[in-house]
Amino acid sequence: MTHQTAALLDAFASLPVEEKRAFADEILRRALPFDSGPLADEEIEAASAALFESLD
């Protein structure tokens, strides 16, 4: 990770929650389409477990 990227992440961490959401939305909008390739079953299982835990 470059120094510039680390600085952006540090600045992001200091934003209020609503600004973080707006920033993340814009980053994702600009990054799409993005193909990370197929997910392994273990990755899907871990993501599912984390999602269900956050909903509980």
What are the structural domain ranges in the chain?
Answer: 3-55
b/e burial code for range 15-38 (CB count within 10 A of at least 16 → b): eeeeeeeeeeeeeeeeeeeeeeee
Whole-Å CA distances, 53 to 17, 30, 41, 42: 21, 30, 18, 16
Q: How sure is the predictor about 36, in pLDDT bands with cuts at 50, 70 and 90?
A: confident
Residue type at position 21:
R
Provide the whole-model pTM.
Answer: 0.54
56 pLDDT above the threshold of 80:
no
Q: How sure is the predictor about 37, in pLDDT bands with cuts at 50, 70 and 90?
A: confident
Residue 1's pLDDT is what?
87
- Rounded (5°) CA angle 12-14-17: 80
Residue 31's pLDDT is what?
85
